Structure 1
Amino acid sequence: MSINHNQLWKLLIPSQFLRYYGQIFSSSQNYKMPRRPPTVLPQELHLLSELGDRLRYARKRRKLSNAVVAQMAGISRTTLYKVEAGHPGATMGAYVRVLVALSLESDLNHVAADYKAQDLTLTLPSTPIPAISILPTLSTTES
C-alpha cells in the first residue's frame, strides 16, 4: 500500500489546521492575502466616536440596557459596543439598526439633505479648466 503526499499530510497534521491552511498548501496560486482595511483619519475617528457617544446617551436616556438594544437591533452585544465606541470596523448597517432600535431613523433623512446649500459652499478651482475640442477643426479657406 502506497501513501501519496496529500494522504500523508492528512495523517500527520490535525484536521483543524488543514481546514484553515489546507488551501494554502494545495493551491497556493489561488491564495490571496487579506486586504488591508482602509486608513481612517483622526478627524473621522473623532466623528465616529462622537456618533457612538450620542447613540450611547440616547440608549441610556431611554433606560434601555445594551442587551435589550442589541436584541432589538438584531446585532450582537459586541457589535453594539463597537457602534457605541465609534469603532471604524462597525458596518453602516449596524449603525442604522441601532438608530432604528432607538427610534432615531428619521435623523438619517437629515444627512446630506440640504444639497442646494451645500452646493453653494463648494469651492470651484481657481484656474479655469481648458476646453478640449473633440471635433476636428474646420478650415474657413477653400482651396
Structure 2
Amino acid sequence: MGDNIKLKMQPWKVKAVFDPLLAIVDQLEQDGTIDTTTRGQAVFRDHNDGVWYDSPVAIMGVVDAYEIHERRTGRQLGLAPLRQLANKLKYAAPVFAADTEAARSCLTRMRAETIEMTAAYARDLIKDFQIMEELQKIVA
C-alpha cells in the first residue's frame, strides 16, 4: 500500500528534494549572491540535515535522475535551464534573472511530475541513479 501511494500524499518527501534547490534560486534572485567555500566553490546548506553541499554537483545529480525519468516515460521536462545554472555556478559565470526564472520554471515542472510519482517509482529512480553514478566512477 505505502509503495503505491503518490508522493503528493507525502509532501515532506517532495519538499526535501526541491526546497534546497529553490533556496539556491531564491538567494540568487533576492540577494544576487551564492554561498561559496573559501576557494570560490558554490555550496548550499541543506536545512534538512544541516550539511553543506556542492551546488553544481547537487543540481546535476537531480538533473541526471530526472533524465532517467524522461527516458522511461518519454515526457520531456526541459531540464536544460538547471544544467545551465549548474554550469554557471561551477565556473563562477554570471547568473542573470533569465537564468533563475528558467531554472524556477524547470523546478516547477519537475515538482509537478514528482507529485504524481509513486513512492516505489521514486525509490527505484533514486536507486537506478545511484547505480549509474557508481558505474560512471568505474568507467572514468
Same fold (TM over 0.5): no
Q: When you count helix as a share of all residues, which structure comes out higher?
A: 2
Q: When you count strand as a share of all residues, which structure comes out higher?
A: 2
Give the TM-score normalised by the residue count of structure 1: 0.31
Give the TM-score normalised by the residue count of structure 2: 0.31
